[in-house]
A and B are shown apart, each in its own frame.
Chain A
Amino acid sequence: MRINGKGLVDRSTPLTFTFDGHSVDAYAGDTVASALLAAEVKLVARSFKYHRPRGVMGAGSEEAGALITVGNGAGQDPNVRATMQEVYSGLETRSQNRWPSLNFDVLSLNDLASPFLSAGFYYKTFMWPKAFWEKLYEPVIRRAAGIGGLSGEHNPDSYEKAYAFCDFLVIGAGSAGLMAALTAGRAGADVILCDEDSIMGGRLNGETYDVGGATGQDWAASTVAELASMDNVRLMTRTTVTGAYDQGTFGALERVSHHLEDRGGRPVECFWRIAAKRSVLAAGSIERPVAFRNNDRPGIMTASAVRTYLNRYGVAPGKAVTVFANNDDAHRTARDLVEAGVHVAGVIDTRRDAPDGDGYEVYKGAEICNSEGRKALEAVTFRYPDGREDKLQTDCLAMSGGWNPSVHMTCHMNGRPVWNEGIQSFVPVDGTVPGMLTAGACNGVFSTHGALTQGIAAAQEALSDLGVKTAKADVPKAEDAPYRLKPLWAVEGKGRAWLDFQNDVTVKDVKLAAAENFRSVEHMKRYTTQGMAPDQGKNSNVAALAVLADATGRGIPETGTTTFRPPYVPVSIAAMGAGSQGIGFAPQRFTTSHKASVEAGAPMVEVGMWYRPSFFPAPGEKTWRQSCDREVNNVRNAVGVCDVSTLGKIDLQGPDVGEFLDFVYTNMFSTLKVGRTRYGLMLREDGTVMDDGTTARMGENHYVMTTTTAAAGPVMRHLEYVHQCLRPDLDVSMISVTEQWAQFAVAGPKSRELLNGLLAEEINSDSWPFMACGEALIQGVKGRLFRISFSGEHAYEVAVPSRYGDSLFRLLVSRAESMGGGAYGMEALNVLRIEKGHITHSEIHGRTNAFDIGFARMVSAKKDCIGKTMSERPGLVGDTREQLVGLKPIGVVKQLTAGAHLFEKGADPVRVNEQGYTTSVGFSPTLETYLGLGFLRNGRARHGEEIQMVDHLRGITTQCVVCDPVFIDPEGGRVRG
């Protein structure tokens, strides 16, 4: 029911939305909850376990009753609190956890079975037979107990994440937060003020009392206007700060466009990381319900929520409202209702010294002991101090058991709140989150005057820490009523009295937990699921542990609290992982030849973050093997071109580079002549091979190192480590130039002929012998030329600045094609290097050392290097080691597979007989057979021996002969050609 003349909703902008397909009238500024209450829709949801009818219970993000699903189809959003969802024209909402409909829900039969469904029921009942749990019990239980669900489809909505920085973060824009932000803003500090509501002001918007000579609502609006006019203040509405982390980092969820009919390209939500030098928590407090029999019917709400609907939305949640309280604050609800012309059936106050009513009756010392009504509240039964019972006809009950400070954020870094006898609740301890202060109701100060005062004080203290002066601020005049309360957690009596409305946990369940010796608060929580619903116990935790304290004969402080962890409100995974879906999951790195390769029809494969061509299919080729074989033959017989830009390129300069390289490589580089390239091996400090590659000496003090594609980053980090942490005395500078140079292998007997058509100066075997390097003018572009070979052929690598990569690649490929060759991809590259016995990270896989791969002589005896000492440990050399060998099939089965195990001929292929394993295999068109590389125990002494390869996974057994890993041209005649 709407009350004319009340509320902040825009009566000039009516609109409609749907709830379960029915059209609902609303105004701009309404939430789904306020509009449903205005339309007198009481039944909004079904509860988790018993499928009990539930309605709107609060007015904030802690809502425990009215959970709904918003939207339809793939992007539907479950478990949205109706109290937080702003309405817009065309909004679609649905109730959840009901079948076939909200009004007639088959599983509400669970409610009749409630005597059996108490705490621990599942643990006790569904134990045997064991196999039934996974197949039968759990699926059935999961279907019956639940809340909203996702669509199961890919989420089409966009989400965002962002960073923000400030001097002073204010969390919550109620009276304390606004005053803190105003004080800091006026002093010129860089301020961020976050509030989860759509408008700022906190409780002021739900109350009628004055602040600073204006209504609270007007004071909040004018304060927000002043803050908005300051360039140094950033106001973030619809933004819940969800967690406090180390060094002043906070997580915050902004609901960017959930409230908009037309999102206009905006993300749905944005997850913020805010780095703040200082902060103040002004999160307010949450009113707590009272547990009594059937206290969960639609129409039963918190007293402050009733005031919020009346004063902020102009909605009376009932026609005859009853108030049930143990404190003075709740009497405001009765006064505001009477003032607005709404009938108050009575105020039932458990205190014998409760204040008198003004236009309503107060039943002093009485308590409500039951309620009636099936899908909405119809009456309440209350008990006088003398035991007599009476009944009030009522359609809305506003209850208040007092207030719980929202201390959650102060506990996120292991802080524990302490019990405060005066307010019968927990209050935060100073300093539990470094740099964060608390102010107002979250600090246990419940009057408006107290909140304003603490807001000013917090800003002054924080700014003084930062060396910013604040002007003396006057506290606006505001109410300063004392908080008078008599503790009341649960009304004695039979039947079920709810504590946790979302998870259907009752007083009886907590008492049962205690009786079955789950006496620790953490055990009780897990046994009953108390506090484990989406509201994380915000409405119920304190009352539940008061009941536990009573049942176990301890005080509340001894009973203690469970741990509050982030996030403060549920955060969608989509927001936290924004930008990381699909193609955004990992960055993509493209070579300069990417476009040309894709145009040529090459399937691209991921190599780390890089994309490289797998092979280049020619007309008529039906399988990758056909293309691969042709590309290998091209290189062996004519000329092939391959983009090798993904290999790491590190430019090292300085007078001490030679000495530095001698220290990071096992072999000598200080002796390398200018204009020459050398293959190098790098170890980890534990003696295991880290990486390999060639390094060219371009000048006296200038080297260019190449690394493998996979290890480019780790090697760069390692070189910086060795320089900065171990040898800062060496005068060396280095930088990664991987992306600055496009580099192509030109390999094959016709490679020189191809290049000589492009180079300004022709080369020959004298001017550019094997392992020569230097600058070269390629089609007028200053580049670099290296005579190195991964394929085992007469080959070069030619490098140009990246901007020329695309055109050079196309030119090289067209020349190669005209000479009977062409481009080759990763498959051919791999076959070529296996034929030549060259290793990759398949062989230097983090468990092999220089001895294992046959490079022991590359560890120079003349000098120390990283990993040298540890590589000499006993056990890392000798005939017990698995050593690199070549393998060729000799039996009926011709196939070799990588990752297969090696056994002696005729041995039983079981673990204890294992002699080694294969690492790389490929079909060699040159030798017309499968070839394999692998590690075999004492393998170098076993060349010529017949062994068996067994691939247990694929069911392949192949007889092989062990041989040298270099299958072609062991003398190196081709590379020197």
Chain B
Amino acid sequence: MRIKCPHCGERDRREFYYVGDAVALDRPDPDAGDVVWDDYVHNRDNPAGVTRDLWYHESGCSTWIVVTRNTVTHEILKTELASKVKEAMA
């Protein structure tokens, strides 16, 4: 599997650390309530199809990347800097 790091270009997946759903970017307010926090910390969808996950280019440029990919076809549809995605959410 090869992932395109926005800084370094296409690299072997062994250079990356995988963490999970990019929902982690959307951190709730401290007073958002138990249900929201429970969802944020624990509950994850496991779709057969398109997912957005966070990958860390740990053996490379230390960049966190939002990878949009298809779990069925293994196709990688998009890679973006997580910092840019987060800034756009603001």
Residues of chain A whose beta carbon lies under 8 Å from any beta carbon of chain B: 163, 245-249, 273, 275, 413, 434, 685-686, 716-717, 720-721, 723-726, 728-729, 864, 868-870, 873
Q: Is B41 an interface residue (CB 8 A)?
A: yes
- Over the window 17-45 of chain B, the binary record of Cβ atoms lying under 8 Å from chain A Cβ atoms (1 yes, 0 no) is 10100001101101000100100111000
Q: How far is the CA of A314 from the CA of B17 in the complex (A)?
A: 55
Q: Which 6 A-B pairs have the closest CB atoms?
A: A247-B2, A728-B83, A246-B1, A724-B64, A724-B83, A246-B74
Contact B1 A868 (CB under 8 A): no
- Over the window 51-85 of chain B, the binary record of Cβ atoms lying under 8 Å from chain A Cβ atoms (1 yes, 0 no) is 00010101000111000000000111000011110
What chain A residues lie within 8 Å of B37 (beta carbons)? 869-870
Contact A720 B56 (CB under 8 A): yes
- 13 CB-based A-B contacts, threshold 8 Å: A247-B2, A686-B42, A720-B62, A721-B54, A724-B63, A724-B64, A725-B82, A726-B27, A726-B86, A728-B87, A729-B90, A864-B30, A868-B30
Residues of chain B whose beta carbon lies under 8 Å from any beta carbon of chain A: 1-3, 10, 12, 17, 19, 24-25, 27-28, 30, 34, 37, 40-42, 54, 56, 58, 62-64, 74-76, 81-84, 86-87, 90
With A245-B1, A725-B64, A725-B86 known, 16 other A-B pairs at CB within 8 A are: A163-B12, A247-B1, A247-B2, A247-B10, A247-B74, A249-B2, A685-B27, A717-B58, A721-B54, A721-B64, A724-B81, A724-B83, A725-B83, A728-B84, A869-B28, A869-B30
What chain B residues lie within 8 Å of A720 (beta carbons)? 56, 62, 64
Which residue of chain A is the closest to B83 with respect to CB atoms? A728
What chain B residues lie within 8 Å of A728 (beta carbons)? 82-84, 86-87
User: Which residue of B30, B56, B76, B84 contacts A721 across the interface (Cβ within 8 Å)?
Assistant: B56
Which residue of chain B is the closest to A413 with respect to CB atoms? B74
What chain A residues lie within 8 Å of B12 (beta carbons)? 163, 249, 273, 275
Q: How far is the CA of A720 from the CA of B54 in the complex (A)?
A: 12
Secondary structure call for the B interface: mixed
Contact A870 B25 (CB under 8 A): no
* Highest count of chain B CB atoms <10 Å: which of A686, A723, A726: A726
Contact A725 B25 (CB under 8 A): yes
What chain B residues lie within 8 Å of A870 (beta carbons)? 37, 41
Tell me the minimal C-beta distance from A163 to chain B in angstroms.
7
Q: How far is the CA of A869 from the CA of B62 in the complex (A)?
A: 28
Q: How far is the CA of A245 from the CA of B2 in the complex (A)?
A: 10
Tell me the minimal C-beta distance from A903 to chain B in angstroms.
33
Q: How far is the CA of A884 from the CA of B34 in the complex (A)?
A: 27
Contact A726 B62 (CB under 8 A): no
What chain B residues lie within 8 Å of A434 (beta carbons)? 75
Tell me the minimal C-beta distance from B2 to chain A in angstroms.
4
Which residue of chain A is the closest to B76 with respect to CB atoms? A247
Contact B2 A246 (CB under 8 A): yes
Contact B86 A724 (CB under 8 A): yes
Tell me the minimal C-beta distance from B33 to chain A in angstroms.
10
* Highest count of chain B CB atoms <10 Å: which of A246, A248, A723, A873: A246
Q: How far is the CA of A870 from the CA of B31 in the complex (A)?
A: 11
What chain B residues lie within 8 Å of A869 (beta carbons)? 28, 30, 37
Known: A247-B1, A273-B12. A686 touches B41 (CB 8 A): yes
Contact B64 A729 (CB under 8 A): no
What chain A residues lie within 8 Å of B10 (beta carbons)? 247, 275
Tell me the minimal C-beta distance from A436 to chain B in angstroms.
14
What chain B residues lie within 8 Å of A721 (beta carbons)? 19, 54, 56, 64
Contact A275 B2 (CB under 8 A): yes
Which residue of chain B is the closest to A277 with respect to CB atoms? B10
Tell me the minimal C-beta distance from A808 to chain B in angstroms.
30
What chain A residues lie within 8 Å of B74 (beta carbons)? 246-247, 413
Tell me the minimal C-beta distance from A265 to chain B in angstroms.
27
What chain A residues lie within 8 Å of B27 (beta carbons)? 685, 726
What chain B residues lie within 8 Å of A723 (beta carbons)? 83
What chain B residues lie within 8 Å of A413 (beta carbons)? 74
Q: How far is the CA of A657 from the CA of B37 in the complex (A)?
A: 26
Tell me the minimal C-beta distance from A594 to chain B in angstroms.
24
What chain A residues lie within 8 Å of B75 (beta carbons)? 434
* Highest count of chain B CB atoms <10 Å: which of A245, A685, A869: A869
Q: How far is the CA of A245 from the CA of B13 in the complex (A)?
A: 12
What chain B residues lie within 8 Å of A245 (beta carbons)? 1
What chain B residues lie within 8 Å of A717 (beta carbons)? 17, 56, 58
Which residue of chain B is the closest to A719 with respect to CB atoms? B62
Contact B82 A724 (CB under 8 A): yes
* Highest count of chain A CB atoms <10 Å: which of B25, B42, B84: B25
Q: How far is the CA of A247 from the CA of B9 in the complex (A)?
A: 13
What chain A residues lie within 8 Å of B87 (beta carbons)? 728-729
